[in-house]
Amino acid sequence: MLIEEIRELISGRLRKDKKLGITQVPDFSLEVCPAEIEGDISTNIAFIMAKQLKVSPPKAGKLIIDTIQNNKTTGEIIQKIELAGKGFINFFITNEKLYKELLEICRKENDYGKQDIGKGKKIQIEFVSANPTGPLHIGHGRGAAIGDSLARILDSVGYDVKKEYYINNRGKQIDLLGESVKARYKELHGEKIEFPDDGYKGEYIKSIADEILDDIKGKEGTQFFKEFAINHILGWIKRDLRDFDVEYDRWFVESDLYKQNEVENMIEELKGRDFIYEENNALWFKSTAFGDEKDRVVVRSDKQPTYLASDITYHYDKFNRGFDKLIDIWGADHHGYVKRVQASIEAMGYSPEALKIILYQLVSLSRAGKPQPMSTRSGEFVTLKEVIDEVGKDACRFFFLIRGANSHLDFDLELAKKQSPDNPVYYVQYAHARICSIFKEAEKSGYRLRTEDSNVDLGLLKESEELNLIKKLAYFPELIALSVRTYDPHWVTSYVQELAKIFHNYYQKHRVITENKDLIFARLFLLQAVKIILRKSLYLIGVNAPERM
RNA sequence: GCGCCUGUAGCUCAGUCGGAUAGAGCAUCUGCCUUCUAAGCAGAGGGUCGGGGGUUCGAAUCCCUCCGGGCGCGCCA
């Protein structure tokens, strides 16, 4: 935590200095310097404190620098402090501090930079949760990639994370699914049928019907077809997610909420809290009390609970299971739903922060520039399985996480296929494979690195490319903290590309296996650290780190 | 009509709490393999950050307004 160390150093020194007369140090930024700026870490503190000190930013900067400099702790971490431009303060990190970080990476490996941000808090993350009315399509893939990576990241900083998939197995959509399969079954057996107007028209419905054995006497009701279809489709969904390296802790079945009268209990509870009232023979949830634009029906006048009733109950069920925090990952087309679910959390007395809903913009799909429709109902869609089969799991996951959740993702299938050898995922994986290859070569020549050996002279790593690499590696803990703070895995994807770039550049300029034995070991040590961070980063976004390509 | 998201290089997009000369990949052009993997490296060109106004030491970022794109607005799920 290089940046945090410097932050504490600055505020500590400023507080102690009586001359300045500061009681409280304001918030200030501390970031990695842009490439064209001389220096490693920069801060804007001079701008912020200028007013307080009643001087111009450059003068404030001078005062601050004077206060920090000439101190033993400062000297160990910071080699030089410079005032730049209109008031930025730039710090130069000592090589000794960088070597120390390097040592720590190799010693702690996967635990390097481990921060206990989560403190064992129970957090549940629910994602994909597509209705089992058809195979997963490419949009679900984005939700899966975001949810699973976020879970990995949160898990790595000390949260107790559980991943869950919510299965909607009741309601109109499911009835329609049953009707659709039933119709196709009859059709296959020579009966003339009228296919339901709004039924599911995809070819996959026929394939399900085709799986049904001929002998279904006594099971002609829609119920049989419904269950058969759900089970069949869930089988596909589970298989596709497994192929995508997504493992769930629990598959929660909606109808279970009704077995224990949980929905009735929810309604009674909210009635008691005066958030449910009756009007026109229906029960309404008073979501307007929490900023929703209108109240919402939870039980229709025909006594059927709505989808929202299940959803509210499901969230209560999660809290009752002891989770401190819930994360839902939804496609942006559900954004109209956010307010009412959020309202239900507050109605029950939970803090609004206890539920975080992450919306991801839908993936628009095109094939050679031609937009493709993506409706499950019409049956025209590209499945997640097709995409995984075509571009591979790694490229697919990487691609989904290369942008923030809020940006529209345009996925051109032809382009994705054509680009696959140039895909950035290979660039990163290649860096890892290259490092592995160097280690193999080194071993052939009898150089076998043992990181626990303390006689490797890291001081030999003097090239600017080497120091740059270490600085990038030392940023890893901050990167994780950033990803956690913003609930956004895409930072990891950007980082790992930058790290790979710095490595490839280094590889091109400097040879590891040379005549100088001490230098070989120092460089192997550095590469070992790069390998550890590459692997860890790739793991967090669910991408493999191959030893050979 | 109302609400959410969005507009940055030819294309696809990054840009953390408002920071320095706005970045990356692709595409285009120019160099680099007798040496640890060329799925690589180095370099070049390419910008009124949708338009206008405001806030301030400083705005792609915050506020107002206009224009464009996506999505959502049921006693559907």
Residue A419 binned pLDDT confidence (cut-offs 50, 70, 90): low
What percentage of chain A has pLDDT greater than the value 90?
A: 67
At A3 the pLDDT is: 86
Q: Tokens at residue A175, please?
A: 């009835």
Q: Using a 7 Å CB cutoff, list residues 459-518 of A near strand B.
A: 482, 485-486, 490, 494, 497, 501, 504-505, 507-513
Q: Which residue has the higher pLDDT, A214 or A224?
A: A224
β-strands A276-279, A282-285 pairing: antiparallel
At A38 the pLDDT is: 85
How many alpha carbons fall within 13 Å on the CB side of residue A77?
20
- pLDDT of A262 > 90? The answer is yes
Q: Using a 7 Å CB cutoff, list residues 350-379 of A near strand B.
A: 359, 361-362, 364
Find the nucleotide nearest A170 (Cα to C1′).
B77
Find the nucleotide nearest A281 (Cα to C1′).
B75
Give the DSSP per-residue string, A30-98: EEEPPTTSSSSEEE-HHHHHHHHHTS-HHHHHHHHHHHHSS-HHHHHHEEEEEEETTTEEEEEE-HHHH
Let me know if domain A2-93 sits in CATH 3.30.1360.70: yes
CA A1 to CA A478: how far, in whole Å?
7
The amino acid at residue A116 is D
Q: For strand B, give the nucleotides within 7 A of a protein CB.
A: 2-7, 12-17, 19-21, 23-27, 35-42, 57-58, 69-77
Phi then psi for A37, rounded to 5 degrees? -95, 135
Residue A483 binned pLDDT confidence (cut-offs 50, 70, 90): very high
* pLDDT one-digit tens code per residue, A24-69: 788 888 888 887 788 899 999 999 888 888 888 888 999 999 989 8
At A218 the pLDDT is: 61
- pLDDT of A376 > 60? The answer is no
- pLDDT of A236 > 60? The answer is yes
- Average the pLDDT over A503-519 and give the result: 95
* pLDDT one-digit tens code per residue, A288-321: 999 898 999 999 999 999 999 999 999 999 999 9
Residue A449 binned pLDDT confidence (cut-offs 50, 70, 90): very high
CA A19 to CA A39: how far, in whole Å?
28
C-alpha triplet A355, A356, A360: angle, nearest 5°? 145
Q: Do domains A2-93 and A420-540 have the same CATH topology?
A: no
Verify if strand B has an atom below 7 Å from the CB of A14: no
Residue A368 binned pLDDT confidence (cut-offs 50, 70, 90): low
- pLDDT of A285 > 90? The answer is yes
| Inter-CA distances, A357 with A295, A330, A354, Å | 20, 7, 10
Q: Which region among A124-128, A210-214, A351-355 has the lowest average model confidence (pLDDT)?
A: A210-214
* Domain residue limits, chain A: 2-93, 172-243, 420-540
CA A31 to CA A29: how far, in whole Å?
6
Residue A160 binned pLDDT confidence (cut-offs 50, 70, 90): very high
Question: Looking at the domain that runs over A420-540, which CATH code has it been given?
Answer: 1.10.730.10
Distance A463 CA to B13 C1' (A): 33
- Average the pLDDT over A180-200 and give the result: 88
Q: Which region among A7-21, A53-67, A107-121, A488-502 has the lowest average model confidence (pLDDT)?
A: A7-21
| pTM of the full structure | 0.94
Q: Using a 7 Å CB cutoff, list residues 377-416 of A near strand B.
A: 402-404, 406-410
CA A543 to CA A393: how far, in whole Å?
8
- pLDDT of A422 > 60? The answer is yes
Q: Which residue has the higher pLDDT, A373 or A250?
A: A250
Beta strands in A361-408 (DSSP E): 363-367, 370-372
β-strands A78-84, A88-93 pairing: antiparallel
Q: Which region among A213-222, A249-258, A333-342 has the lowest average model confidence (pLDDT)?
A: A213-222
